[in-house]
Structure 1
Amino acid sequence: MNFIDLFSGAGGLSEGFIRAGFTPVAHVEIDKAACNTLTTRVGYHYLKRTNNLAHYLDYIQNKISRTELYALIPDKERESVINLPIGEENNRIIFDKIDSLKGGKSIDFIIGGPPCQAYSIVGRSRDENRMQGDSRNYLFKEYAKFLEYYQPKYFVFENVIGLKSAKTKDGKSYLQMMCDLFKEKGYHTEYEVLEAKDFGVLQNRKRIILIGKKNGEEGFYPKFEKVNFNVTVSEIFKDLPKLQAGTGNYYATKYNKYDGDYLFKSHIRNGLDFTTQHIARPHTEQDKGIYKLAVEKWENGQQRLNYNDIPTEWQTHKNTKSFVDRFKVVAADLPYSQTVVAHISKDGHYYIHPDISQNRSLTPREAARLQTFPDDFYFEGVSEKQSRTAAYKQIGNAVPPLMAESIANKLKELIRNE
């Protein structure tokens, strides 16, 4: 079964569908850094299929350049990543590219969801116009054009739960507008709020997942059994070397001894004896002092640090009434962490490592593990120069691959039953 991934980001949703046996025809994404990540992952899957994975491993160990890696990937594979904004100006170009890539094959699934900022509750609260004039509010109309053109059997549309309450100036629900439009295109749409932690992801991440079925009838939405590995967040740190702020390596980092099974069952560890991008941000002495306070409070009775508890000389914000939890430890002794979001690319204050001896925020690899990205998944920047910021942003915006794989497997079951 073939799919195209719209608004792909780094490809977390796609990764889960590939694992479930689906074949990607194209990924469409506006962000150049994310497109480089997608191309590198396309290379991984191609080289793995052709028993040449050693070349990919050479790349993520910095033995060959990105240019050399991409030279090993056929043009058609690389061209499946389409770096264009979806919209009236480019849709015809994108259709032509996808038509060329798919040949005579059908598109069975369309997956992906447009940027969430326009529907986000936090985004609306911070914007003086409550995102009313944001053009991203209506990207679902572009999504519908792809449904109309390709007529897939199903589509999967992911977004933030703020979509349930987001309304136009005249009080219309964006969610209802979507469902009505998709119905016009021939799709009955159902949705649920799904929680990543119910799929074995060690993160408290709620997302609304719309599934549309061509000429579908009510009641097709799959039922998901909850997965519980009975571990705590500490599991993602156990085999990673300890780091101080500003240290680590973009490339190969050998594992410490690990005697658990979560990392293998969740496909985070998948056969290599090393990982990458375990590199910590540098922090100011002031931030490290605050981080230490936050960890000490958590260790002393699982208390969270309130911004007003920070010594006055360390406070940099005049706002002491809202967002008072802006410094937060990723608690190792809880069954799941707070939601990993794209703001992690700006600073690490909301993602403090629980080990006080390391006194730092999470590395990209630790954040990627909370999202269940496999350890051989490499996040790119715009140029060949490595970018920790771009990696954090892509990780925070992604769908956890473990969750995506479960969704894909259930949809595969639906098709088999039909």
Structure 2
Amino acid sequence: MKFLDLFAGAGGLSEGFVREGFKPIAHVELWDAASYTLKTRAAFHYLEDFGQREIYAQYLRGEISRDDLYSHVPQNVLDSVINKEIGEDTIASIFEKIDALKGDEDIDLVVGGPPCQAYSLVGRARDPNGMKDDKRNYLFQYYAQFLERYQPKYFVFENVLGLLSAKDENGALYFDLMQQKFREIGYRVDYRVLSADNYGVLQKRKRIILIGKKTEEDFQYPEPEPVEHPYTVKAVFSGLASLHAGEGDVYGHPLTAGRHSQWLEEFGVLSTYPVTFHYARPNCDRDLEIYRRVVDLWNHERKRLDYSQLPEELKTHANQKTFLDRFKVVAETESASQTIVAHICKDGHYYIHPDIEQNRSITPREAARLQTFPDDYFFESASGKPSRTDAFKQIGNAVPVLLAQKIAAKLREVWDD
């Protein structure tokens, strides 16, 4: 089954579908860094399929450049990533590229969700006009144009919970407008709020998953069955080298630090490739002292630190009334961590490593594991020089791979019904 991946980001959603045997025709993504990540992942899958694993391993060890990696992959594989903004001026040229890529093949499925900032509660709270003027509010109309052109049997539309309450200037709910539009073009639609921690992801993350089927008959939502498991967040950190703030390396090393948790194997995170992006942010002494207090308080009293409780010499924020929990440990004894968000690219204060000896915020690789990206997933920048900031932003914006995989598996199961 062939699919089209819109607003693709770093590819968390599409990777889950690839794992279940769906084949991507094209990924459409605006951001250069994420587009290169998608190209590198396409290269990975091609090299895996053709038994050329060592070339990708060389790349993860930093032994060959990105251009060298891409030189081993057919151009049409790299061209499947369309690095363009979806909009009125570009949609015709995007259609043209997709038509060339698909040839005579049908597109069976469309997946993706427009950027969530315009619908997010945080975004609306910060914007004086509640994001009502943001053109991204109407990207679903372009999504509908892809559905009209390619007539897939199903589509999967993902977004943040804020979409349920976001309104246009006339007071109409965008979510109602979307569903109405999708029905007008021949789809029966339904949605659920799915929580990633119900599906093996060791992170609390709720998302709207709207699914549509091209049919005139009644449509039963293909809701994936929850997964029970005994694991805690500790599994995410297993097998990775201990680091202090500022230590580590972008390029890959084998897993070295003791035994890894069975969770990594059971849910497809573990890889035999070198592990990349396990390098920690440097921090000033003041932050490290706060980190120590945060972890110590959690370890001994199972309490979160309130910013107002810090000694005056450790306080730097003038606004001490909001975000009192701005420093938070990723507690390894919990069944799920706090939600990983794109703000992690700015600072790691909300994501402190639970080991007081390491005394640092989590690395991009640890964040990627919380999002269930496999350890062989490489996060690119536009320049080709690895960027921790770009990696964190891509990871924070992604759909957990495992959640996507469970949705894909259920869709396969009911495909012919």
Q: TM-score, normalised by structure 1?
A: 0.98
Structure 2 counterpart of 1:242: 242
Are the aligned partners of 1:25 and 1:80 in contact in 2 as well (CA < 8 Å)?
Answer: yes
Q: Does 1:143 align with 2:143?
A: yes
The 3-state SS of whatever aligns with 2:298 is: helix
Task: Give the aligned residue type for 1:386.
Answer: P
Are the aligned partners of 2:275 and 2:375 in contact in 1 as well (CA < 8 Å)?
Answer: yes
User: Aligned runs of 1:100-179 on 2, under 5 Å?
Assistant: 100-179=100-179
Structure 2 counterpart of 1:68: 68
d(CA) in 2 for partners of 1:180 and 1:55?
48
Shift of 1:261: 1.2
Shift of 1:63: 1.2
Deviations 1:318-355 (A, max 9, x none): 22222111111100110000000100011101101011
What is the percentage of aligned positions where both structures have the same residue? 54
Shift of 1:219: 4.1
Shift of 1:264: 0.2
Shift of 1:301: 1.8
Are the aligned partners of 2:307 and 2:320 in contact in 1 as well (CA < 8 Å)?
Answer: yes
The 3-state SS of whatever aligns with 1:26 is: strand
Structure 1 segments of 4 or more deviating over 6 A? none
Instruction: Could you tell me which runs of 5 or more consecutive residues in structure 1 were left unpaired when the two chains were aligned.
Output: none
Structure 2 counterpart of 1:303: 303
The 3-state SS of whatever aligns with 1:275 is: coil
Are the aligned partners of 2:188 and 2:219 in contact in 1 as well (CA < 8 Å)?
Answer: no
d(CA) in 2 for partners of 1:23 and 1:291?
44
d(CA) in 1 for partners of 2:120 and 2:2?
31
Are the aligned partners of 1:203 and 1:370 in contact in 2 as well (CA < 8 Å)?
Answer: yes
The 3-state SS of whatever aligns with 1:254 is: coil
d(CA) in 2 for partners of 1:148 and 1:307?
51
Shift of 1:259: 5.2
Task: Give the aligned residue type for 1:19.
Answer: R
Structure 2 counterpart of 1:200: 200
User: How many aligned positions are there?
Assistant: 416
Are the aligned partners of 2:196 and 2:204 in contact in 1 as well (CA < 8 Å)?
Answer: yes
User: Aligned runs of 1:3-402 on 2, under 5 Å?
Assistant: 3-255=3-255, 256-258=257-259, 260-272=261-273, 274-402=274-402
d(CA) in 2 for partners of 1:40 and 1:216?
40
The 3-state SS of whatever aligns with 1:208 is: strand
The 3-state SS of whatever aligns with 2:359 is: coil
Alpha-carbon spacing, 1:35–1:259, altered in 2? closer, same or farther (3 Å): closer
Greater CA drift, 125-134 or 155-164:
125-134
The 3-state SS of whatever aligns with 2:415 is: helix
Deviations 1:221-252 (A, max 9, x none): 01322112211101111211100000101111
Task: Give the aligned residue type for 2:141.
Answer: K
d(CA) in 1 for partners of 2:220 and 2:163?
22
d(CA) in 1 for partners of 2:376 and 2:260?
20
Deviations 1:35-94 (A, max 9, x none): 010000000000011111110111011111111001111110000000000011100000
Are the aligned partners of 1:268 and 1:369 in contact in 2 as well (CA < 8 Å)?
Answer: yes
Deviations 1:146-195 (A, max 9, x none): 11111100000000011111112321111000000111111111000000
Greater CA drift, 308-317 or 362-371:
308-317
Deviations 1:342-389 (A, max 9, x none): 000111011010111111101000000000000000001111211000
Task: Give the aligned residue type for 2:271.
Answer: N
Greater CA drift, 168-177 or 97-106:
168-177
Shift of 1:216: 4.7
Deviations 1:204-229 (A, max 9, x none): 00000000111254441013221122
Shift of 1:128: 1.7
Alpha-carbon spacing, 1:337–1:198, altered in 2? closer, same or farther (3 Å): same
Structure 2 counterpart of 1:410: 410
d(CA) in 1 for partners of 2:269 and 2:4?
24
Deviations 1:279-335 (A, max 9, x none): 000011111111111111111221111111122222222222221111111001100
The 3-state SS of whatever aligns with 1:292 is: helix
d(CA) in 1 for partners of 2:311 and 2:16?
45
Task: Give the aligned residue type for 2:290.
Answer: I
Are the aligned partners of 1:41 and 1:377 in contact in 2 as well (CA < 8 Å)?
Answer: yes
Are the aligned partners of 2:113 and 2:157 in contact in 1 as well (CA < 8 Å)?
Answer: yes
Greater CA drift, 292-301 or 24-33:
292-301
d(CA) in 2 for partners of 1:327 and 1:179?
39
Are the aligned partners of 1:253 and 1:278 in contact in 2 as well (CA < 8 Å)?
Answer: no
Task: Give the aligned residue type for 1:346.
Answer: K
Aligned-residue RMSD, C-alpha: 1.1
d(CA) in 1 for partners of 2:16 and 2:293?
38
Are the aligned partners of 2:371 and 2:401 in contact in 1 as well (CA < 8 Å)?
Answer: yes
The 3-state SS of whatever aligns with 2:105 is: coil
